[in-house]
Amino acid sequence: MELFNNTGKVAIVTGGGSGIGKTAAEALSESGATVAIIGRTLEKIEMAAAEIQDKTGNSVKGYQGDVTKSEDIQRFVATIYEDLGQIDILVNNAGTLAPGLIDSLDEAGWDHVMNTNAKSIFFTTQAVVPYMKEQNYGRIINTASVAGEVSLSFSSVYGTSKAAAIHQTKQLSLELAPYNITVNAISPWFFKTEMNESDLEDENFRTAVENRSPMKRLGQLDELKSSYLFFASPASSYVSGQNIFVDGGMTVYGL
């Protein structure tokens, strides 16, 4: 189990105040890491940090930040480094969804999704890389989606943004490999979160989602923890540029 031990490491999780990001932050804290979670609303992010810390007994701190603005990213990354002394793990998890197809999606919706889901990965990674290069160690994990591989019937832009996340994973893994920095992605199917909770209250929609997986159910958030922990830990030291689908078999399901 020492291969999955992150004691002495410092992790940043963007969008760590709820849903998948909070789950990833909890997994890293459980493995011994000191965790900094980022969100737009300071009160919410500080409450989430306190909740995780109480549960795991390890230090978790909340920082306000907008991952769609490069100057804000530089600010909170520098602050975290000053406060915690190192940055070993980055989970680029901040994400959003704008429903709408080609004939209804406007430019503001397109920009919001692309900036949150794709642009933020590049510039947050860019901000942490100097620290990781200096210590010749880093683990970067991007939260992508099955929508980066298959098409969705309700959004023209979401899948495009997640395909960009998957390709950035490949590209950045190539660039950063010489510095002992790995870059990998995790692509979930539907897990009940604040972002999709109202949609899943529609029984027809939920049934359609469940039927797209051979397991005929939604994922449970705790079922994501092992994937984040693997990519964040020494166990994955020779794994980079990869994308794991945590989807109950959805992406291989035909007729």
SS (H, E, C) the chain: CHHHCCCCCEEEEECCCCHHHHHHHHHHHHCCCEEEEEECCHHHHHHHHHHHHHHHCCCEEEEECCCCCHHHHHHHHHHHHHHHCCCCEEEECCCCCCCECCCCCCHHHHHHHHHHHHHHHHHHHHHHHHHHHHHCCEEEEEECCHHHCCCCCCECCHHHHHHHHHHHHHHHHHHHHHHCEEEEEEEECCECCCCCHHHHCCHHHHHHHHHCCCCCCCECHHHHHHHHHHHHCHHHCCCCCCEEEECCCHHHCCC
> For residue 76, what pLDDT is reported?
98
> For residue 103, what pLDDT is reported?
92
Encoding tokens for residue 249?
Answer: 């078999």
What is the radius of gyration, based on Cα positions, of the chain? 17
Residue numbers in the chain where pLDDT is lower than 70 = 255
Distance CA 182, CA 154 (A): 33
How many residues are there in the chain? 255
Q: Does domain 2-246 have CATH number 3.40.50.720?
A: yes
C-alpha 17 chain-centroid distance = 12
> For residue 65, what pLDDT is reported?
96
158 given a catalytic annotation = yes
pLDDT tens-place string over residues 150-182? 988 888 999 999 999 999 999 999 999 999 999
Distance CA 23, CA 61 (A): 15
Model's pTM, two decimal places?
A: 0.95
> For residue 255, what pLDDT is reported?
62
Catalytic residue among 63, 81, 137, 158: 158
